[in-house]
Chain A
Amino acid sequence: MNSKRVLVLGIGNLLWADEGFGVRCVEALNAGWQFPPQVRLMDGGTQGLYLLPYVQEADALLVFDAVDYGDTPGDLREVLGEQVPRFMGAKKMSLHQTGFQEVLMAAELTGKLPAELVLIGVQPEELEDYGGSLRDVVKAQLAPALQLALNWLDRWGAPGVPRDGRLAGAEAITDAALAIDVYEGERPSAEQAYRLGDTRFLNLEPT
């Protein structure tokens, strides 16, 4: 019997367009597959130290996130082992990454860093769209990202079984109001809701 405890964590802020990639991945993984009981799927949001206990309990940790590697938008990268904490802090993109980098360091400091670390990250196209959803190039990477994760879960002896039928409400990872179709469908119009961010964070070159 393989009872390696696995934590699959989606992190990021789903209110900031492609920042929601991690959470959307874990939401979709949960909607499509069932896993053995030693696997925990979690929407980590932008929580920092709140996530520590779950990380400490895991033997293997797989994180979905949007990470600014300086690649072409939509590029998917898989980062392993000790490279993971370094990439979580790559380019001052989002505070949750700092928070999560600290979680990993705190786990290490307490001697409970998961033995295996995997980061599946996508290069975002757009962050400065508050209330917006994933851009097409990023959304297109959901399925490939899930496939990478399923391969890891297979390797860790915890293969996913496709669900038949829709997910019951209580099994959903995010609240129904935030589910991607509702979130996108009920968005107020650009006329009603200003959509631009702070231009200093638009990743423009200094002029």
Chain B
Amino acid sequence: MRIDHHDGSERKDSSGKPAGSTPATIDGGVHRSRTHDSGAKHVTGAAIYTDDIPAPPGTLQVYIAMSCRAHAAITKMDLSAVRRAPGVVCVASAGDIPGVNDVSPIMGDDPLFADGLVEYYGQSLFAVAAQTIAQARAAAQLARIDYDDKPAILNIDEAMAARSFLQEPYVMARGDVKAALSSAAHRMNGRIETGGQEHFYLEGQAALAVPGEDDDVTVYASTQHPTEIQHKVAHVLGVANHCVTAEVRRMGGAFGGKESHGNIPACAAALIARMTRRPAKVVYDRDDDMMITGKRHEFQIDYQVGFGADGRIEGIAFDQKVRCGMSWDLSEPIADRAMFHADNAYFLPAVRITSYRCKTNTQSNTAFRGFGGPQGMVAMERVIEDIAAHLRLDPLAVRRVNFYGHKDEASTTRRLTPYNMGVEDCIIQDLFDELAASADYETRRAAIARYNQASPILKRGIAITPVKFGISFTKTFLNQAGALVHVYTDGSIHLNHGGTEMGQGLFTKVAQVVAEEFQVDIGRVKITATSTAKVPNTSATAASSGTDLNAMAAQDAAGKIKRRLVEFLAQSHNCPADDIRFKPGRVDIGDGKSVPFDEVIQQAYFARVSLSATGFYATPKISWDKDRASGRPFYYFSYGAAVSEVAIDTLTGESRILRVDILHDVGKSLNPALDLGQIEGGFVQGAGWLTTEELVWDDKGQLLTHAPSTYKIPACSDRAPDMRVSLFERGHNVEQTIYRSKAVGEPPLMLGISVLMALANAVAGVGTDCEEYIPVKLDAPATPERILAAVERQQANSKTPGGANTSDHETGPSGRKDKK
């Protein structure tokens, strides 16, 4: 199925039918493209984000003061001048917290305000509330703070050397790796480093706290996790959860960055509100946001692999070194997920993955689309490329011989993951066959080789890479969701669920499901802000699971109301329940009678039928034994594949993506247009992570790239001039997900790995005048500087054909991590 962005049926002039007619289909049901529910509000500026909410009179503006040391004891903190500054109403620091000084999601190790110790440059110290943000910021500069510096560990190498770990290394293993490595015909080892990534949600972290009576407070926050906001605010204020309501209508992007890092703004605003009995607002500006909040984890991964003459892997060992930052945050499940995806789409007969969770004196790294998966996966893909270079094979052939067994394959010998879960739904072969053909991979690879022979300065490269991504929270208990559906007496429907809208179109999809259940036009379904007062005890909207969980819960709620309506109609019309069918805009009852939906609802109301229901869903089949590193953490897998073609300039290291072909599996798509948007956006974000997006810290641990002037996410022209994105037409979830769809939020990000591999392939093109292919060491982000360095290594190797060391190309880190 090739779906263009242009879908004429989406035009505004195809509006809903007047009530009372009997259309053939509803407007806005499932499996159809539908524009984002807030589209018109986005383009008119009418969509309200946290900082746009009309603040009550007297609202205080709050500035969070930050540490300018990476690791130090605070020997003195004198805030008297801050308190005396013009406009200042309240100053709050650790001693002012009535509850617990902690905003961490799990482990209890993230203070709201530093208490005697700072562990990174940018850590929050205290909050200043003033009439204006300029007054608050200026006042904060008047603080007198004395530090006693301690040794700071700023990167992975330093952490490894000092064994600065958050916990002992965690191992996941299956089979005898040592034996497999020693008996293999070929062995290689190598290392790949991937930098971190700033989320760069366009809307910064923001929270508005409005005090109520008693201990109550309502917090409007830009968060993926309202329940955590509720819990952390209650925790900090020392009140029961029922005192706190957290609400979010939408976020201006999140990407994982608003899973836990909205806690400081929300708790600081709530604390000020509590102390002053006035509303209080915290909005990070861009620089502060980037200085305070965590990023994608930087990884350094070493591998040892043994393989046969056809490239088939026999044994492999990965050492994954993870830069977690100053505290746990979500690093445990993130580092776990990197291990879960160390295999990507390949069966590893004997495997050992060791995870080192490094503690460093930098921002506490956090969730970011893919949640460790991309880092684990990129190392596996580098292994495949290196094997292919070593054996002088097309990497495509090496990928094919290593894939997990296809789901229809009789033999089940190649199905087991390193964590003993059977891969029952593997379709990567189908995707690869179709994509390699539609993208004309073989022909273009040959054409590129010819081009590189003829072009001394510009070189091209191409790569095809797969994605297999496990869907479910690996913390099994999180896989639950609730929903709340009301049908009002005029037939309009109020929908609420625990998921949050960050642009991904979750609200649209869940509304489609509810419209489909009731067989009414989607225009009748009012999508409402996520609120802990409506649906409690929710999980973060994360792990790509928003639709899987919340649409199922909403379907459950709608189903309950439907069953009550059916029971009522069967009784009142004296017919079997089976004869009652919800049809577009109406309900058909037995022998040819048809009642408009509105009338059914009114009749039900007068018959005293409850028209409100909660819904609930818990993902079946999953389990995880952490101690044995074994189980079924995932309900199913999502698959995808991408071909990228790139060009590099061997004089400057600059690069461009020329063409991208993507084939992605979303099962039976709930909304093809929204899914394509996630795929394309995810790919570009993944490509950005691996190319232009570089985080640089100085030797004091200060982040130097804290604004778009220095941190470069992809711009419009970075999108490949030729980009072809398709949904896998045969997609079908073997598990009973909502309308057999598959999750789509995170998996496409990893399609961007094809860009890094294509760049390495282009670098290899430098050496085409020599006989043998040499594995290219190109770390990420592949900035012009790293590409040029790789080109120079390749040129040096090419000058001495045969002399190049191909069996052990551990040349040490090629890129700078922390520039002076």
- Binding between chains A and B: no
Please report A residues at the B interface, Cβ cutoff 8 Å. Answer: none
